[in-house]
Amino acid sequence: MKKVTVVIEKGNPGSDNMAINLKGMELPKRDIHISLFFDERRIIGLAKPFFDNGILKADMEFFKEEYDHLYPSIGYQSIDCSCKSNKVSKSKLLTISLGSQNADRSIKSIGEQANDSD
């Protein structure tokens, strides 16, 4: 199994131009499944999300080591948001998935982040 700690969300506006206030995000109390963006039924690992200096990170553990080229992204439920300000002020983290890119181009792939921490 491969273990790595990575940045999964910075709160910057995504493709929908909505920014997430990470201070208002509720995290799950247990580890959550990591899935593939294009196949959410396929569980590829477990993640324990946490906040570090205002950035959402996760300790990830993969069942196989073949996901270094993919980028982490999150799925969340908006609890309170404003369309006028394009800001999600309260939310709940639901999923972490890996795909071919993240809407926030500053978030690196799993492999790039693992190499940065070496």
Per-residue confidence in pLDDT tens, the chain, 118 aa: 689 999 999 998 877 777 888 999 999 999 999 999 888 888 999 999 999 999 999 999 999 878 899 999 998 888 887 766 678 888 999 999 999 988 888 999 999 998 886 5
Give Dmax (Cα) for the chain.
45
Query: Do the domain assignments include residue 48?
Result: yes
Note the pTM of the prediction, 2 decimals: 0.85
Query: Do the domain assignments include residue 93?
Result: yes
Query: Do the domain assignments include residue 112?
Result: no
Paired tokens of 34 = 């990591």
DSSP at 105: T
The residues, any chain, with a CB within 8 Å of residue 53's CB and separated by 6 or more, are none
Tell me which residue range forms the domain holding 58: 2-107
Query: Do the domain assignments include residue 116?
Result: no
